[in-house]
Structure 1
């Protein structure tokens, strides 16, 4: 993925224009994350949230609590973008 593609992934997101809907409270987060499951830039979105420690909302199909747990369990990972985007590329092949 080129630098330009890395910066423009939000324009390709399935949730584009739905920002207010992606920041629900509690149990509604699990309902909202279903939007992410068929999104072509899910890996980029999740990597953005993990690399930047974004605490609120649903990103890449994961709730705040799920992301915090993942970060705690994998504190040695320095670049989620590299890990997730490369894994997504391999699965597309």
Structure 2
């Protein structure tokens, strides 16, 4: 009988590890094309999933969070109304990928 190790890559205190930590926060609260430019900060962020989960679970309306604009987050919330905890869903997804 073999044991499967579970790896938990989730970071609860994620904000200080974000690529945007220490940068001007206003750069992520822009409109139009500038939002897509702001998303480039998120592309290699080590805590992208945690940031996105926070924004989705708290229904954050403004700014770029977790690599998504407010419009993209609203569309995702409409598409998946069955998900009651994005933190749980994204954390489980990370764990399954780590195996």
TM-score class, shorter? 0.7 to 0.9
Q: 1:14-54 deviations in whole A, cap 9, x for unaligned? A: 11022111111111101110111111100000000000000
TM-score (norm 2): 0.83
Q: Which of 35, 60, 64 is equivalent to 1:58? A: 64
Gaps of 5+ in 2: 1-7
Are 2:12 and 1:13 equivalent residues in the alignment? no
Q: Which has the higher contact order (CA 8 A, sep 6+)?
A: 2
Gaps of 5+ in 1: none
The equivalent of 1:34 in structure 2 is 40
Question: RMSD of aligned C-alpha atoms?
Answer: 1.9
Higher helix share: 1
Please give the secondary structure, in 2, of the residue aligned with 1:87: helix
Paired residues, number:
91
**Displacement of 1:84:** 1.0
